[in-house]
Amino acid sequence: MRAERSDCVLGGSGHAPGPRFGTTVAEQGPGVPDLWADGMGVIVRRTVFYPGQDDGGLQCPHCGRLEQRDGSYTGPVPSQWRRFHSAAKGWMDGGPAEATCAYCGLPVALNEWQWESEPWAVGALGFTFWNCPPLLPAFVAEVGGRLGHPVRLVSGKF
């Protein structure tokens, strides 16, 4: 990504793809990185990162109980999901990063919940790659290595 910020992301400025962009993605489709919104946004605040579709199931890593959500956002919200959402909202407001399992009663760090589909993640630093092909796992691992902190890839479409 280029060091200087420019108008290349939605909702602000970001970092446009640099000359080595192709070494970070699995495949570079036509028009990428030539789209207007093809840059990387940087988020530096407590944020819940979610895939934006197909939430699938949420599973407690302690008891293994898997709870489905239909993804319609119009039906009743299962109890595990309510607890997770409430905890994530509380974390954004400065609270602890854990939710208690509705079934076994054990606390679970928000980033330790298991996801049936694309995972969610909470963090105080995030990078949004707009209109980007899938990132190479080696690139994601290198980012984590340079940060000296675990990273989680959250993929989705909005």
**Site for Zn ion, rule CB under 5 A:** 60, 62-63, 101, 103-104
Structure tokens at 80: 């595990």
Give whichever of 28 and 100 is closer to Zn ion, judged by the CB atom: 100
Structure tokens at 152: 């989680």
Give whichever of 8 and 99 is closer to Zn ion, judged by the CB atom: 99
Q: How far is the CB of 68 from Zn ion (least distance, A)?
A: 15
Q: How far is the CB of 100 from Zn ion (least distance, A)?
A: 9
Q: How far is the CB of 109 from Zn ion (least distance, A)?
A: 13
**8 Å CB contact between 31 and 14:** no
- Residue in 31, 51, 22 with CA at minimum distance from that of residue 131: 31
Give whichever of 108 and 132 is closer to Zn ion, judged by the CB atom: 108
Give whichever of 5 and 62 is closer to Zn ion, judged by the CB atom: 62
Give whichever of 65 and 152 is closer to Zn ion, judged by the CB atom: 65
Residue 82 host element (H or E)? helix 79-92
Q: How far is the CB of 74 from Zn ion (least distance, A)?
A: 27
Q: How far is the CB of 63 from Zn ion (least distance, A)?
A: 3
Cα torsion angle, 49, 51, 55, 61, sign: negative
Residue 56 CA to residue 54 CA, distance in Å, equals 5
Residue 108 host element (H or E)? strand 107-109
Report the greatest alpha carbon distance in the chain: 50
